[in-house]
Amino acid sequence: MRDVADHSQDYHATRDRVETYFDRTATAVWDRLTSDAPVSRIRETVRAGRDTMRTLMLSRLPADLRGARVLDAGCGTGVMAAELAQRGAEVVGVDISPQLVDIARRRLPAGLAGRVEFHAGDMLDAGLGGFDHVVAMDSLIYYGPADLAAALARLAARAPQVVFTVAPRTPLLMAFWGVGRMFPRADRSPTMVPHAPSRLARDVPGLAPVGRVSRGFYISHCLEVRR
């Protein structure tokens, strides 16, 4: 697999769009969506889907994470990071959006403060160090095949297990994707890039499917890489 540096222009352009969206446009939406606040019926399906996916991803990790160092790559408002810390892990949560990281810091229960470090920045930053596990929930869904494979190569080089999600290549999502590409980017969220797990397996050594979650407007597929 090629390194992300080989695709730096595409990768960084996508990353910058994601940062702009979550840090300037959608901060309030994600603050509310990832809380207990009332939301619309559509967003209720997204919240339920994300809760189910988080449970599925956590099921791939040991129940007892004492002594383990875990990277929450794309930690958002810190829900996953808090659950990992509750299992005893030493957690590094990183997100491209400083605003979401601020929310994550505020929400973290005081009893877990010593187990979680939050950083605003690139989830692929080698300066974050090595880990026993990496989880990346819906944080790699905006990248094309080459950038996704390269990002997984870099994450897998730093941990023996990477559990992550992609937008599955279903007819419905492909239709949304095709329509979305017809409109200007400035006024909409970053476009998810659908992937077929069978095709990804050809580019990503050690890739294995875990399962799919479909709840209304939330559709995501969980996979993992082990070495």
Burial 139-174 (b: 16+ CB within 10 A, else e): bbbbbeebbbbbbbbbbbeebebbbbbbbbbeeebe
Residues near 82 by Cβ (< 8 Å), separated by ≥ 6? 107, 108, 109, 112, 116
Can you tell me the mean pLDDT for 55-84? Answer: 98
Q: Which residues pair with 118 in a beta bridge?
A: 93
Q: Please, what is the average pLDDT of the chain?
A: 89
Q: Which domains does the chain have, with CATH numbers?
A: 4-226 (3.40.50.150)
Q: Reply yes or no on whether the pLDDT at 60 is more than 80.
A: yes
Per residue in 98-112, pLDDT tens? 999 999 999 999 999
Interatomic CA distance for residues 170 and 52, integer angstroms: 19
pLDDT the model gives residue 173: 52
* % of the chain surpassing 90 pLDDT: 74
Interatomic CA distance for residues 96 and 203, integer angstroms: 26
Binning pLDDT at 50, 70 and 90, where does residue 186 land?
A: very low
- Name the amino acid, one letter, at 134: V
pLDDT the model gives residue 24: 80
Whole-structure pTM value: 0.90
Binning pLDDT at 50, 70 and 90, where does residue 169 land?
A: confident
Structure tokens that stand for 159 in this block: 């941990």
Sign of CA dihedral 39, 41, 46, 51: positive
Binning pLDDT at 50, 70 and 90, where does residue 172 land?
A: low
Binning pLDDT at 50, 70 and 90, where does residue 192 land?
A: confident
